[in-house]
Structure 1
Amino acid sequence: MTLEICANSYQSAKNAVKAGAHRIELCSELSVGGITPSYGLIKKVLSEINIETFVLIRPRSGNFCYSEVEFEIMKSDIQICKTFSCHGIVSGVLNKDRTIDIKRTQDLIELSKPLPFTFHRAFDLVPNTLEALETLIKLGANRILTSGQAVKAIDGLENLKVLQKQAKNRINILVGSGVNPENVKAFRDSGFTEIHASASTVILKETSDMFGNVQQTESNYDTIKELLKVISDAD
C-alpha cells in the first residue's frame, strides 16, 4: 500500500521522508484545500529531498471552474514544475455544472506528459462519479484522489468500493480526506492500494507582538510512522 503525504511546507516534506512515506503531494494553504506552492518551495524540496514528489496545480481556493487567465497560469505552472523535474502533477478542471471540463482537463493531462496525472478532489463534486471515472480513464488520467464524496473518506467507504470495482485497474483510486491510523485499516482491508493523508498536527509559530502567535499545520513524523505500521502489518 502506497502512502502519499500531503506536505504543505519544507518541514512537512522532511518529516514525511524521515518517517518513510512513499510519496508526497506538495502544496500550500491546506486550510483552503490546498493551492499551488511557491516556486521556491518546489525547487528546494525537489533538489534536497529524495522522495517522489507530485505538485498540486490549483491557482486559487474556491471552485474549480477557471477563467482563461487562471487556466493559462495553470499551464505555465505545469511547465515550470517539469523544468524542476517533479514526478507528477495533481490538478483538474470542472464546468459550472460541476461536470468534468473535458477539453481543459485533457489539455492539462497532455501538457503534464510524460509525468503521471492525478485528478484531485474536485472529483468529489461531480454529479455522476461513475460517468466521471470513465471520462478520466478515456482522457488518460492515472489516478483519482477521492473521499467517495463524503467529508471524510471513512464515511464514503461504500462509494469508494463501487469506484474501485468500476475502475477495474484501469485507473488508481487514491483514498483521501481524514485518513488516520485509527481508520486506515478499513481501506487496507478493502483492497485499496494507495492512501493520501496530511498526518498533520497544529503547531504555534511565534511572530512579532503586533500579530501574536499563529497556528500552522505540519505533517507529523509519529503519525506517519503509525500509518505505515498499520498498512504494513498483516493480521
Structure 2
Amino acid sequence: MTRTLALEMAVQDPAGVRIAGDVGAARVELATALALGGLTPSPATLELSIEAARAAGVEVHVLVRPRGGDFHYSDDEIAITERDIRRVLEAGADGVVIGALDAQGRLDVDVMTRLRDAAGGASVTLHRAIDVSPDPLATLDTALALGLHRVLTSGGASAAIDGIDTLRALVAAADGRIEIMAGSGVDAANVAALAATGIDAVHFSAKRSVIAASGVRMGSASDGVGGYEVTDRDTAFAVRDALGL
C-alpha cells in the first residue's frame, strides 16, 4: 500500500491558513508566539482562522499551551489549559495539540488524562513535550495507552533532521497504531530525508521575520529591535515541491 505523507503547517493567523490551503496541507496547527514554541491563540484569531480554514478545505488543530518554557504546569495553568481546550473545540476547531510532563520529565498521565477528556472525541496530538522527556519511546507508549491520535516530535533534538535516528525508532515502535509527525527546523533542504524515515506527516512553519528597529524596549526579551513572523508563501511551496507533491 502506498503511504500518503500528510502536510501540517504551523500558522499564526488567517493569512497563514490560506497559504496552507494553497499548498495542499491537510491541516494547520494554529498558535501564537511561535518564537516561544507556540502559545494558545486569541479567540478572534481562532474564529477568523477557522473561517479561513473552512473556505480553504483544511483542518484546524489548536495548540493549547498557557506559557512558554517547560511542560510542568501549576494547578492554575492546568485549569486554564482545560478550559481553553473546551473553548477552542466549541469554536469549531477539529482538534487540539497538548503536552504536560511531571516533575521527573515523564508524560504526566493524570494531567494528560484530564486534558484528553476535556477534548471529548476530538483529535488530540501530543506536542513536543516528548522531545524533552527522558525516554521518547517510553513517552510514545504512554501516548498510545492514553489513546492519543498523533505525536509531534523532532526525535528529541532541536531540529528534526538531527533526531532522524530517533524518528525512525519511533516510527517502528508506533507500527501504525499512532501517527508520527516530524517537526522543527523542517525546510526544503531536509524534508525529503525526513519523509524517508516512514513518518506519517511533516510539520513546518515556512515563516519569515519582519523586522523594524524602534529603539525602545517592549519587554524583558526585547533589545529595541521589534519584529514579528509571518507565513511565507514561497517557502511553503518550496517545502511541498521538495517532496514532489
TM-score scaled by structure 2?
Answer: 0.89
Inter-partner Cα distance in structure 2 for 1:49 and 1:160: 29
Partners of 1:91 and 1:117 within 8 A in 2:
yes
1:35 and 2:35 correspond: no
Matching residue within 14, 18, 22 for 1:18: 22
Residue 12 of structure 2 is matched in structure 1 by: 8
1:128 to 122, 135, 139: 135
Structure 2 residue runs of 5 or longer lacking an equivalent are 219-223
Counterpart of 1:229 in 2: which secondary structure?
helix
1:110-129 alignment to 2 at 5 Å?
Answer: 110-129=117-136
Select between 132-141 and 210-219 the one with higher mean Cα deviation. Answer: 210-219
Query: Aligned in 2, Cα 1:207/1:15: closer, same or farther, shift over 3 Å?
Result: farther
- Residue equivalent to 1:224: 236
Q: Secondary structure at the match of 2:229?
A: strand
Matched, 1:193 2:193: no
Matched, 1:109 2:116: yes
C-alpha contact 2:60 2:94 (8 A) present in aligned 1: yes
d(CA) in 2 for partners of 1:162, 1:18: 32
Q: 1 CA distance for matches of 2:150 and 2:165? A: 19
Q: Distance in 1 between matches of 2:52 and 2:231?
A: 18
Q: 1:61 to 1:210 in 2, by over 3 A?
A: closer
In the alignment, the residues of structure 2 paired with residue 15 and residue 48 of structure 1 have an alpha-carbon distance, to the nearest angstrom, of 10
Amino acid at match of 1:221: R
- Summarize the Cα distance change of 1:210–1:169 in structure 2 as closer, same or farther, 3 Å threshold: closer
RMSD over aligned Cα, in angstroms? 1.9
Matched, 1:182 2:189: yes
Where 1:49 maps in the other structure, the secondary structure is helix
Q: Which residue of 1 aligns with 2:156?
A: 149
Q: Where does structure 1 differ by over 6 angstroms across 4 or more consecutive aligned residues?
A: 206-213
1:94 to 91, 101, 112: 101
Q: Is the Cα contact below 8 Å between 1:147 and 1:176 reproduced in 2?
A: yes
Q: How many Å separate the matches in 2 of 1:128 and 1:158?
A: 14
Query: Per-residue deviation at 1:18?
Result: 2.8
Contact 2:38 2:68 in 1 (8 A): yes
Q: Distance in 2 between matches of 1:169 and 1:77?
A: 30
Give the aligned length: 233
Q: Is the 8 A contact 1:3 1:195 kept in 2?
A: yes
Write the distance in 2 (CA, Å) between the matches of 1:88 and 1:23: 10
Whether the 8 Å contact between 2:18 and 2:52 is mirrored in structure 1 is no
Is 2:92 aligned against 1:85?
yes
Identity in percent: 32
For the 8 Å contact 2:17–2:52, the answer to whether it is kept is no
Q: Deviation digits for residues 40-80 of structure 1, max 9, x if unmatched? A: 10011112332211000100111111111111111110111
Deviation at 1:213, TM superposition (A): 6.6
Q: 1:138 to 1:222 in 2, by over 3 A?
A: same
Q: Deviations over 1:21-53 (max 9, x none)?
A: 221100011111111011110011112332211
Mark the CA change 1:112 to 1:154 in structure 2 (over 3 Å): closer, same or farther.
Answer: same
Letter matched to residue 214 of structure 1: G
